[in-house]
């Protein structure tokens, strides 16, 4: 669909956009969508081919892991095998988008996991993303919509045209946040030790 898909969805109701995005992801496609931070590329976290396609679009090394978005404790518990107690406090008191790297991940492609089998998960409340996750009934892969090594896009207009033309669906920019910045990233050890990866 690429840009024609974005124009098709422009001004469509949220429900229509969520249903269209869910269909693309269920069919193994890639979406370009606004998140609670920067614009992202997303797909099914179990779909090996879709994950490889994202790496190709971003010109990204295959050994890099992905962030997974969830919108409920049930989904968090599904994907994070170990959740130290401190994580719930971090989520509750976070005043900005927070990605937590948990010690062991499960029920996703190995491409999503870190080299130590850890998994990076962000609990999200963004209207479109949360609605899509609810519709899918599973987590959503999220990686910034930029060519690897290049700056994060500040808004839709900053996204590389090659990326826009390579995806299967582009979501309406009305969901774009005005305070754009990558999330803070914290890694949690099995004993609850906290390590700041990105402020």
Non-local CB neighbours of 121 within 8 Å, separated by 6+ positions: 67, 68, 69, 70, 76, 79, 80, 99, 100, 101, 102, 139
CB 142, CB 185: distance < 8 Å = no
Least-confidence region, from 22-36, 45-59, 183-197: 183-197
End-to-end CA distance of the chain: 36
DSSP assignments along 137-193, one per residue: TS-EEEEESS-TTSPPPSSGGGS-HHHHHHSSEE--GGG--SS--PPEEEEE-TT--
Dig out the tokens for 85 from the structure: 């107690």
Q: Is the pLDDT of residue 179 over 60?
A: yes
Write down the pLDDT at residue 8.
47
Non-local CB neighbours of 52 within 8 Å, separated by 6+ positions: 62, 111
Q: What is the pLDDT of residues 5-42, one digit of tens each?
A: 444 455 567 888 999 999 999 999 999 999 999 999 99
Write down the pLDDT at residue 141.
98
Give the dihedral sign, CA 105/67/4/171.
positive
- Domain range annotation of the chain: 2-198
CB 2, CB 166: distance < 8 Å = yes
User: Stretch 59-70: mean pLDDT, rounded?
Assistant: 94
Gap between the Cα atoms of 125 and 9, Å rounded: 22
CATH classification for the domain delimited by 2-198, as one of 3.40.50.1110, 3.90.870.10, 1.25.40.10, 3.40.1180.10: 3.90.870.10
Query: pLDDT averaged over the chain?
Result: 90
């Amino acid at each position: 669909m690429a840009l024609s898909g974005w124009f098709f969805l422009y001004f469509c109701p949220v429900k229509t956009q969520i249903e269209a995005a869910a269909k693309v992801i269920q069919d193994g496609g890639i979406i370009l969508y606004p998140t609670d931070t920067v614009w992202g590329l997303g797909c099914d976290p179990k779909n090996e081919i879709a994950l490889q396609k994202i790496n190709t679009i971003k010109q990204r090394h295959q050994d890099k892991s992905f962030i997974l978005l969830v919108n409920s404790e049930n989904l968090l518990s599904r994907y994070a095998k170990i959740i130290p107690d401190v994580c719930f406090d971090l989520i509750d008191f976070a005043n900005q988008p927070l990605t937590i790297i948990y010690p062991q991940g499960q029920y996703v492609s190995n491409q999503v996991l870190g080299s130590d089998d850890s998994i990076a998960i962000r609990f999200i409340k963004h209207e479109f993303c949360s609605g899509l996750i609810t519709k899918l009934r599973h987590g959503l892969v999220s990686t910034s919509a930029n060519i690897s090594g290049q700056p994060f896009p500040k808004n839709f207009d900053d996204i590389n045209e090659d990326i826009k033309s390579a995806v299967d669906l582009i979501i309406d920019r009305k969901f774009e946040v005005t305070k754009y910045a990558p999330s803070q990233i914290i890694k949690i050890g099995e004993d609850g030790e906290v390590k700041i990866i990105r402020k």
